[in-house]
A and B are shown apart, each in its own frame.
Chain A
């Protein structure tokens, strides 16, 4: 079994992001920046009805706009529209302005249909069905274990609560989009994607072109967070426009489009009952939950990620449970995988009710977790984190904070699977000593290029900047999509194998006993004219799956304004073997800040009367800004013996739950509804009428 080196020069240490200079000089070329010769602008016309029968779409006037080179329908013939923003037609032209003019001139003949956009309305029998042949509310999926009624009867304390989480929009700053050139030779697509091979196969399948004739490139991409796997309707439209216009077409979605049609995190409505013995041992748990994944709630959602279900009772093992999940279909865009699908809402509901139980039993929240958390790693993390955070000094009885600005603390835990596999990589050693590592993976901003350089540099005793890392091209050896925190654990072992085997081949071919480090150049020179290319593939033993993490939050809540300020987050995270420390820390920061948005700011707002998304922009869909971010204190629990584990997702899970618990601790009343906006705080304090359902 291969093993990672014990002594390292770069692995686990501070190495600057290898593509940092490209990103700070503007020379990094994203899909949106690619400008192939003769390229055209592409744009999509979307439905302005949340539900409608479309009988005709006329493109004639649009086609006559100066500069317009192609106009196409998404689908021929009559069709039914099921959400505001569904794609109807697309145009390509020589400028954005020409496209905007053309979109205004497309004539759509439609008969509006009844619609429903809110979960609480959609689950009623009287609501208009989103899909004609099935009810909006799915049959419950039920899991039962033990004897629940008996167990609740034996509990010393039982608490009940109702918790809700909103639909979130991914909002990567680079919108979904592609620049596509479709000629007789085949298709070349620059894609803003988390999976170049899934885009290739999607385009090939949709457009009936051989996979060998589709090339997908993604050298730099501006964020995905789970929403960017397949080519999407916009990718297929860009390709069809390119074929029709006989020119490359760049079709990047607008921020408005982004809010409607390319994925979201499902909502959740969780009725929870939890019981424990007098010493705090969890005995009985009951969950009745529903949520919406938009029009995709009935079955699997586009791009994976499942529906609105979530793991329950999350990280805890409870002998007697009954869990019931139902999906509620509404007239809104389908959900997609969103950073740690299912986990943040699961953590929020479970960790909230657990704190309620702790209060009832007069137990410290950390203590009740130590009593019930089955993971020995998280047990250690709670101890380390509590000490570092100063939990004992900061925790007080809920609501006992004096004055108008209340302080409070909370904590929560998380787990994630991850794991790797299915990746190949190749090393090309050139006679001049330069080295290229090629792998058909992609870097979402997580630092994949840096990770590859760090590993190759350590194994071959070179410097990271001596290594040309080439990724993001389907002409390179294959790798999977970057989802589920699997990239680091998939790519690292393949790069390890390619480098190890390439070194061996170099030494065999040149007779140099140890070609690493100082001997490298001389050995490479002996290769003669041809470079040496050696492939490697993922090997077991160098990566693993399963991570645990805990977070602590400290907040201030202004009881007069309802404003919540998070002062500090302490995070203790298991990450297996830390490969690239600097980018690893950045991932932790990023997960926490996204969790902060979930806790306090972000939500998609639908309008029942018109069926539209009311906040399809950044002035009304609020992201955390620099001034909102607390002090973030990180402890990385390094376990090199476990190999590489991805951490992109686990770090975003417990943040919102920890913050919500801290707010409850500050106020003495719980706000069970995310985001915790000032109006909800004031309503919880009885200072205003509750504005939210």
Chain B
């Protein structure tokens, strides 16, 4: 086996247990009171099975369905959803938790799917944009997005929809500032911002109308 590759494997197999073992010979030795708890922790960890780096079977609860896939432990929830579950609604835009295009709901809470490992999402209810409509009926937020034209290229749209859907569940009648706050983790490059706020308010039952004026040049004296 090549040197560089084996060093790569060493990196991958650096586990929490090994890390704690290293601690055991240094920091822990100086803090006698903590030794007991660390030892207990170690014992617990020793009982766990170490997974990876080879693919492992996992089960994800996505949009009400249990889906069994095999992924390497380092695969993110976003990667798993898009490339293993084949739900491509959540988008990869930054892959580092800054843009919100990969937002999904985890037990109803919006999270960045690029910042969570797929295996950690097991046992939680995951909702993606594909799971918002029921029997072909758009949910109120989706409907308002279409009516208000709260999208242009549409690449950020799934993330905003999930952030706002979660907000409305928590706060059925938010004001504009609460919408802005709920969407503080979502970016849009086309500039749909005002209409996203409008759509969120509309979905909560507020009537919104366009203030745009169209003036015929020929009618101006």
Contact = CB atoms under 8 A, between A and B. Distances in A.
A63 to B, nearest CB: 11
B153 A221 contact: yes
Interface string A20-35: 1111111111101101
B191 A590 contact: yes
B44 interface: no
A617 interface: yes
A320 interface: no
Given A626-B179, A633-B211, A173 B191 contact: no
A551 to B, nearest CB: 14
Interface stretch (A488-496, A512-520, A580-588): A580-588
A593 B188 CA distance: 10
A20 B95 CA distance: 25
The number of chain B residues touching the other chain, given as a range, is 35 or more
Interface stretch (A79-87, A95-103, A149-157, A274-282): A95-103
B94 A255 contact: yes
A594 B190 CA distance: 8
Contacts of B157: 23-24
Interface in B193-212: 193-197, 210-212
Given A25-B130, A581-B214, A639-B217, A255 B154 contact: no
Contact of A32 (B5, B91, B96, B142): B91
Interface string A644-670: 000000000000000000000000000
A258 to B, nearest CB: 9
A17 B149 contact: yes
B217 A638 contact: yes
Nearest to B131: A26
A75 interface: no
Contacts of A585: 149, 210, 212
Which of A101, A225, A625, A640 is most buried by chain B, counting CB atoms within 10 A of its CB? Answer: A625
Interface stretch (B14-22, B33-41, B71-79, B167-175): B71-79
Contacts of A590: 152, 190-192
Given A172-B153, A582-B149, A635-B215, A26 B88 contact: yes
Nearest to B132: A25
B218 A636 contact: no
Contacts, number: 222
Interface residues of A, number: 82
A174 interface: yes
Given A23-B151, A23-B157, A593 B191 contact: yes
Contact of A619 (B98, B129, B193): B98
A222 B157 CA distance: 10
Contacts of B82: 33
B154 to A, nearest CB: 3
A32 B92 contact: yes
A634 B215 CA distance: 11
Contacts of A447: 152
A589 interface: yes
B94 A16 contact: no
Which of A19, A95, A380, A587 is most buried by chain B, counting CB atoms within 10 A of its CB? Answer: A95
Nearest to A586: B149
Contacts of A28: 154
A635 B194 CA distance: 16
A33 B212 CA distance: 35
B149 A618 contact: no
Contact of B91 (A174, A582, A641): A174
A624 interface: yes
Contacts of B129: 24-26
Contact of B147 (A16, A97, A594): A16
Contacts of B215: 384, 635-638
Contacts of A225: 189
Interface string A589-633: 111111000000000000000000000011100011111010011
Which of A223, A377, A639 is most buried by chain B, counting CB atoms within 10 A of its CB? Answer: A223
A638 B193 contact: no
B165 to A, nearest CB: 11
Given A26-B89, A618-B98, A223 B142 contact: no
B154 A220 contact: yes
B154 A23 contact: yes
Contacts of A261: none
A392 interface: no
A431 interface: no
B155 A223 contact: yes
Contacts of B128: 26
A23 B91 CA distance: 12
B129 to A, nearest CB: 4
A496 to B, nearest CB: 21
A254 interface: yes
Contact of B214 (A174, A254, A255, A578): A578
Nearest to B217: A639
Given A16-B147, A24-B145, A627-B180, A641 B218 contact: yes
Given A255-B95, A586-B149, A619-B98, A174 B155 contact: yes
Given A97-B75, A578-B214, A589 B2 contact: no
Given A173-B93, A578-B214, A638-B214, A629 B193 contact: yes
A380 B152 contact: no
B162 to A, nearest CB: 10
B101 interface: yes
B187 A623 contact: yes
Contact of B145 (A20, A175, A619): A20
B62 interface: no
A64 interface: yes
A587 B192 CA distance: 9
A380 B215 CA distance: 11
A209 B39 CA distance: 66
Contacts of A54: none
Contacts of A618: 94, 98-99, 187
Which of B95, B153, B213 is most buried by chain A, counting CB atoms within 10 A of its CB? Answer: B153
A619 B112 CA distance: 15
Contacts of B64: none
B158 A26 contact: yes
A246 to B, nearest CB: 20
A377 B218 CA distance: 11
Contacts of B133: 25
Contacts of A101: 8
A178 B56 CA distance: 30
Interface in B132-185: 132-133, 138, 142, 145-147, 149, 151-158, 161, 179-181, 183-184
Contacts of A619: 96, 98
Contacts of A626: 179-180, 183-184, 186, 193, 196-197
A444 interface: yes
A171 interface: yes
A130 B40 CA distance: 61
28 contacts: A23-B157, A24-B161, A25-B138, A32-B91, A35-B86, A61-B4, A95-B72, A172-B189, A173-B188, A174-B91, A222-B153, A223-B189, A255-B93, A384-B215, A447-B152, A581-B212, A583-B152, A585-B212, A586-B195, A590-B152, A590-B192, A594-B191, A624-B193, A629-B194, A638-B217, A639-B216, A639-B217, A640-B216
Given A220-B154, A625-B187, 17 more contacts: A20-B149, A20-B151, A21-B138, A24-B142, A24-B146, A25-B130, A95-B75, A104-B4, A105-B5, A222-B153, A255-B93, A585-B210, A586-B192, A589-B195, A625-B180, A626-B196, A626-B197
What 9 A-B pairs have minimum CB-CB distances, sorted nearest first?
A26-B89, A445-B153, A590-B191, A222-B155, A593-B191, A23-B154, A33-B88, A445-B152, A20-B146
